[in-house]
Chain A
Amino acid sequence: MKYLIKNGRCIDPANKFDAVADLLLSDGKIENIGKKIPSPKGAQTVDAQGMIVAPGFVDMHVHLRTPGREDVETLESGSRAALKGGYTSVLMMPNTDPAVDTPEMACGLKEQAHKESAVHAYVSGAVTKGRQGAQLTDIAGLKAAGALAVTDDGCCVADDGIFRKALRESARAGLLLIDHCEDAKISGKGVMNESFMSTKLGMRGMPRQAEYDMVRRDIEYARGLDAPVHIAHVSCKESCDLIRKAKKAGVRVTAEAAPHHFTLTDEACANYDTRTKMNPPLRADYDVKAVKEALADGTLDAIATDHAPHGLHDKYVEFDAASFGVIGLETALSISVMELVNKGVLDWPRLIELLSSAPAKILGIPAGTLSKGAPADVTVLDPKAELMYTAENVASRSKNSPFIDWKLTGLAMEVFVSGKRLVSGGQLV
């Protein structure tokens, strides 16, 4: 099937392209991009007037709960949520039950994803066996099995010695190490940011130091070994400052931030609403501001959702007892448009870069570009379209979003994965 997407503002940050143009998709590839492309015989035309045509988005941090918790998300439901949000590629975190910690498991999951996921769902493996932090996994084997990264996400690789070995081994194997930076000795049994709010609400706080101390450690090890490291879900100002400085000094560090961390503060926890409970927690005003600035100035490389589905029975309990995490695939684009572009923090090309080409480059996948010959993963978004985001229209199996009942602006209207039109007119096909 051929599709001719006409008259959209095509933004392709990888090629520094930003102009009104036509885009021709053919046989799963991008065949042509340019002005007034004649419609080939049999091609379907998509009118993209007033819309933005971008490389399909890449989310390098999702939890699709497979295997183990298919009651809260499956590859199928998670990939539909991804599509609704304009995502065509996702990287699945390995903190499943059991954890993805062997090449065999990685290989099996990759095959399963190929069958069941509507988007390209990539596999990552654990850094340590069972994510217990004690013994390294077969990192080279995981790479050979098709994993794109190793991470103990959900936990930090706390032991310095193990972390150092992991960093050396992953650099040698050519596999990205993603770290969830949290010193559990500092965050302890905390359930929200340590602040006036945690004191007011009487809840145990997680000091921001628990995050940035580990960011500092990771940077120092990456510097010492000249190895790449990726910092997951950066939530506080100090982390941004450390990463900015490290990048200037040539350290091979990359980092991501999640939409909730540049939108909400710990004030959102005021009603003990467990949809505001995630790790790292919502921080202060100045952290939100710092994360935004860091996304704009290149300190942070990517927007990643940390899509973390949880069932009602995991969330509709006391705040202390509730699981950490929120879903985000379906709202990331809108929240980014509203908080970053519409508020003048950054421009459209930078947003598209953060959502597509930058994470694609970090992961080394053939995505995130509108280059001729590239896979036809394309998202057409309407920057002005609005939606009341209610629990009823959530595609994920779980509804644990802090943005339920928000009016969202900026929606994915057409999504193509390998040239297949899977979202049309803003609806899943």
Chain B
Amino acid sequence: MNWNRKDLIGLEYLSAAEIEHILATTDSFKQVTTRSIKKVPTLRGKTVANLFFEPSTRTSASFELAAKRLSCDVLTLNIATSSVKKGETLVDTARNIEAMEVDTLIVRHGAAGAPAMLSRAVKACVINAGDGWHEHPTQGLLDMYTLRSRLGGIKGLRVSIIGDIAHSRVARSNIWGLTKLGAQVTVCAPPVLLPVGIEKFGVKITTDLDEAIAGADAINVLRMQFERDCAQAFPSRTEYFRKYGITQERLQKAKHDIVVMHPGPMNRGIEMSSEVADGPNSVILEQVTNGVAVRMAVIYLTATAREASL
């Protein structure tokens, strides 16, 4: 497998072989992150800029650590409050950062398509760290990596994605990645949170949580953003938890070894009860650990492809 993309914009645009290649590359970096000395000199002298136009703790920290463990110099900018307010365009901001000889831009932005636009505007690598409701490819990859480590592979798995599908970039990246690798994906949400045309993604659709859980090898439970997009869509948090919250009782009907994932940040008592979140089926912290290795692989592969094209 020859990786030749300088950017990672979304899993929609990757082939199954490319996704497999990232996961395989992650294996070697995962091994690095479990050593007592977690750093390799692979990208020494490269500079990575984290451009976060939307607040993030986990993803930003994960990318920063991933870059540092590859020996990159890292700059993390939370731009929501700086030059954008002064009227600078996104492309100008990115080009100014690039002009300081930065090699990789990791971009989180509230507007779908912002990283795609930047990838055409700059020569640096662009890695999408989440754009609007569009994609969050490294989250999709780390979810798949976690499933693959737990269950041996992706092909043939039954994975249900539960919650706010309409406003979730994590859902989209998961759907693209999992279906490309041959998993059978079900999405489960109240009707108002199922986006138009979802049936064309090649997924099964249900509004019944028990149906989504029954027979599933894994569930990926999405964050409900009551403070934002879901406010009008659902009467109350309690009501949501009653109908769609993952509880120990619900899991009684599931496969005993069902894998429970959540991309975080989690609302305990809304998407999932604490018993489940902290219980034996939960792989939530494992996802976070794997996230660093996945991002090391992505930073490494894209940087190498760019280097080869220079």
Please list the residues of chain A having a beta carbon within 8 angstroms of any beta carbon in chain B.
194-203, 205, 271-272, 313, 316-321
Interface status of B113 (Cβ within 8 A of chain A): yes
Asked whether, in the complex, the Cβ of B111 is within 8 Å of the Cβ of A320, the reply is yes
Chain A residue at minimum C-beta to C-beta distance from B90: A318
Residue from A272, A316, A317 whose CB has the most chain B CB atoms within 10 Å = A272
B172 touches A195 (CB 8 A): no
B91 with A319: CB separation less than 8 A: no
Supposing A313-B89, A316-B91, A320-B132 touch, asked if A199 and B195 sit within 8 A by C-beta, the answer is yes
A-B contact pairs, 30 of them (CB 8 A): A194-B196, A195-B196, A196-B200, A198-B196, A199-B195, A199-B197, A200-B172, A200-B197, A200-B201, A202-B113, A202-B131, A202-B132, A202-B135, A202-B169, A202-B172, A203-B112, A203-B133, A203-B134, A271-B116, A272-B117, A317-B89, A317-B90, A317-B91, A318-B90, A318-B113, A318-B114, A319-B111, A319-B112, A320-B112, A321-B111
Residues from chain A with a CB closer than 8 A to the CB of B114 are: 318
Tell me, in angstroms, the Cα distance from A197 to B133 when the chains sit together: 12
Closest CB-CB distance, A37 to chain B, in whole Å? Answer: 56
Contacts of B160-175 to chain A: CB distance below 8 A: 166, 169, 172
Is B77 positioned at the interface, with any CB of A under 8 Å from its CB? no
B295 at the A/B interface (Cβ < 8 Å)?
A: no
Contacts of A202 in B (CB 8 A): 112-113, 131-135, 169, 172
Tell me the B126-182 residues at the A interface (CB within 8 Å): 131-135, 166, 169, 172
Given A202-B134, A202-B169, A318-B117; A272-B112 close (CB under 8 Å): yes
Beyond A272-B117, A318-B90, A320-B111, whether A195 also contacts B133 by CB under 8 A is: no
Set of chain A residues within 8 Å of B132, measured between Cβ atoms: 202-203, 320
Q: Which residues of B contact A197 (CB under 8 A)?
A: 197
Residue B109 is within 8 A (CB to CB) of chain A in the complex = yes
Could you say which residues of chain B place their CB within 8 Å of the CB of A194? 196
Residue of A nearest to B134 (CB): A202
Q: B211: CB under 8 A from chain A?
A: no
B198 at interface by CB-CB < 8 Å: yes
CB distance B197 to A195 under 8 Å? yes
- Complex Cα distance, B195 from A205, in Å, reads 10
Interface residue tally on B, bucketed by range: 20 to 34
Scan B187-202; emit 1 where CB is below 8 A from any A CB, else 0: 0000000011110110
B12 at the interface (CB under 8 A from A): yes
Write out, one digit per residue, whether chain B residues 80-122 have a CB within 8 A of any chain A CB (1) or not (0).
0000000001110000000000000000011111101100000
When chains A and B are docked, how far (Å) is the Cα of A317 from the Cα of B90? 7
- Identify which of A195, A196, A201 contacts B112 (C-beta below 8 A): A201
CA distance A313 to B90 in the complex (A): 11
Residue of B nearest to A205 (CB): B196
How far is the CB of B132 from the nearest CB of chain A, in Å?
5
- Min distance, Cβ B162 to any Cβ of chain A, angstroms: 18
By beta carbon, the residue of chain A nearest B121 is: A316
CB contacts (< 8 Å) of B110 on chain A: these are 320
Docked pose: A205 CA to B89 CA in angstroms: 24
Cβ A318 vs Cβ B197 within 8 A: no
Enumerate chain A residues within 8 angstroms of B113, measured Cβ to Cβ: 201-203, 272, 318-320
Q: Which residues of B have CB within 8 Å of A203?
A: 112-113, 132-134
**B230: shortest Cβ distance to chain A, in Å?**
15
Question: Of A195, A200, A313, A321, which is in contact with the most chain B CB atoms at under 10 Å from its CB?
Answer: A200
A319's nearest neighbour on chain B, judged by CB, is B113
Minimum C-beta distance from A193 to chain B (A): 10
A200 lies within 8 A of B133 (CB) = no
Whether A272 and B116, one on each chain, are in contact in the complex, defined by CB atoms closer than 8 angstroms, is: yes
Pick the 8 closest A-B CB pairs, nearest first.
A196-B197, A202-B134, A272-B113, A202-B133, A318-B111, A202-B112, A199-B195, A320-B111
A185 to B133, CA, bound (A): 21
Taken together as a complex, chains A and B put the C-alpha atoms of A316 and B91 apart, in Å, by 8
CB contacts (< 8 Å) of A320 on chain B: these are: 110-113, 132
Q: Which residues of chain B are near A319, meaning CB under 8 Å?
A: 111-113, 117
A317 to B53, CA, bound (A): 14
